[in-house]
Amino acid sequence: MDIGSIGIVGAGQMGNGIAHVCALAGYDVILTDVSQDALDSARKIIGQNLDRQVSREKITSEVRDEALQRIRTTANLIDTAKSDLIIEAATERETVKQAIFEDLVPHLAPQTILTSNTSSISITRLGSRTDRPQKFMGFHFMNPVPVMKLVELIRGIATDEETFEACKGVVDRLGKTAATSEDFPAFMVNRILMPMINEAVYTLYEGVGNITSIDTSMRLGANHPMGPLELADFIGLDTCLAIMNVLHDGLADTKYRPCPLLVKYVEAGWLGRKTQRGFYDYRGEGDPVPTR
């Protein structure tokens, strides 16, 4: 099918990034969130990121202005229902995602494809709670969306070929690369990445190395652009813990047991950059300071 309009549910870091790249690729975008403040912030962030692309001569000011004009925001979820494609990018909690799809279903156009940007939750299970499991799939962008080139496409057990090809066409038009994953806990990227982060937290927890040593070792010893603890703060420690719990529950293997120290940080509300404290403290004027 020909996709011309995209509805995005959730105006946080992922949602505003998805809106940015979709508008830049020529799609009409409607972005919704329960919080008007989140919508206002998302529009501001998208404008700033587009301005940055203009300053770096990645796009022209005319292209920026056209992209901004293609983005409409609304606090009413149902306003997105007639879009050709809906990408849910709400918080990584299955009950929240199920509630969103259940609210949307009675209002959807017959041709609308439903997708989730979930990083770990079963696509088959989410799709089964809708009226169109054959038109439901995982559409997992990487963070930050405007920069990262990969999109994981995850088929549920009922996803049909037409839906897959339509979503693959969107990825191509965005100028990104699709990687196809089977529908198993955490898919591919996070199946590999999150246990590495969890093991880094265990390395800290067991006193093998401190935060600075662990991150420096992986940056300089494995040529990673970010150390694993710095990356965990960037992702959000609550998100890391949620994905580890999905892996542990879904695969029943003790190697996926979340580190108790990761649990403790989340219990403290030290979730990383978004709360100004995680494995690093970001509240000062200078460089972030390790918290252990």
Rounded Cα gap, residues 268 and 146, in angstroms: 31
Of 16, 190, 198, 230, which is the active-site residue?
190
Annotation says 190 is catalytic: yes
Closest CA to 84 of 191, 1, 169, 181: 1
Contact (Cβ atoms closer than 8 angstroms) between residue 68 and residue 50: yes
Of 49, 120, 122, 152, which is the active-site residue?
152
Annotation says 224 is catalytic: no
Annotation says 140 is catalytic: yes
Rounded Cα gap, residues 267 and 222, in angstroms: 31
Q: How many CB atoms lie within 10 A of CB 120?
A: 24
Of 83, 116, 119, 120, which is the active-site residue?
119
Of 140, 181, 198, 230, which is the active-site residue?
140
Annotation says 119 is catalytic: yes
Rounded Cα gap, residues 160 and 260, in angstroms: 41
Q: How far lies 196's CA from each of 203, 211, 236, 258, in Å?
A: 10, 15, 15, 11
The C-alpha angle with vertex 83 and arms to 78 and 88, in degrees rounded to 5, equals: 70
- Please confirm whether the linkage preceding 144 is cis (ω < 30° from 0): yes
Contact (Cβ atoms closer than 8 angstroms) between residue 68 and residue 45: no
Q: What is the dihedral of CA 233, 239, 244, 245, to 10 degrees?
A: 140
Long-range CB contact pairs, 40-48, < 8 A, 24+: 40/73, 41/11, 41/16, 42/11, 42/12, 42/15, 42/16, 42/73, 43/16, 43/71, 43/73, 45/16, 46/16, 46/19, 46/20, 46/71
Residues annotated catalytic, as ranges:
119, 140, 152, 190
